[in-house]
Amino acid sequence: MKLLAGHYSYWIAILLMVAGLTMLISRRNLLKKLIGLAILQSSVYLVYIAPGKLIGGTAPIIAPGYTLYSNPLPHVLILTAIVVGVATLALGLALVVRIREAYGSIEEDEILALDRAGE
């Protein structure tokens, strides 16, 4: 029980990671794959931020009377990672829009069939 309750943030991260990967691999629709990618990246944010909060730690601004501060570094790292994730998502969506215009469909099997027919 301690394993479950004490580390619940890690369990959620694992769940998100596997859910995202499954969506990415098994879904045929290009947009759903992108959503799976976004979910996978969210799990990474949890892996970094959850351990950053120290039990009994306060916000990382020096104040008299406090000795234990939470770690601010993971937040900075994840800010960068979130921005990278947004850029990737934007690029992916732009590609999906262009693919839709070029192929008329965003289903992976239809696109592959069109490509094979064109060769």
Q: Which is nearer to other proteins, 12 or 77 (CB)?
A: 77
Residue type, 85: G
Cβ at position 4, least distance to other proteins in Å: 18
Cβ at position 83, least distance to other proteins in Å: 6
> Which positions touch other proteins (CB under 8 A)?
17, 21, 24, 29-31, 33, 37, 40-41, 44, 47-48, 51, 61, 73-74, 77, 79-84, 87-88, 90-107, 110-111, 115
Contacts of the segment 6-14: beta carbons below 8 A, 24+ positions apart? 9/46, 9/50, 10/46, 10/47, 10/50, 12/43, 12/46, 13/43, 13/44, 13/46, 13/47, 13/50, 14/43
Q: Which is nearer to other proteins, 10 or 67 (CB)?
A: 10
Cβ at position 60, least distance to other proteins in Å: 11
Cα(first)–Cα(last) distance of the chain, in Å? 58
Q: Which is nearer to other proteins, 15 or 83 (CB)?
A: 83
DSSP code per residue over 76-94: HHHHHHHHHHHHHHHHHHH
Q: Which is nearer to other proteins, 1 or 40 (CB)?
A: 40
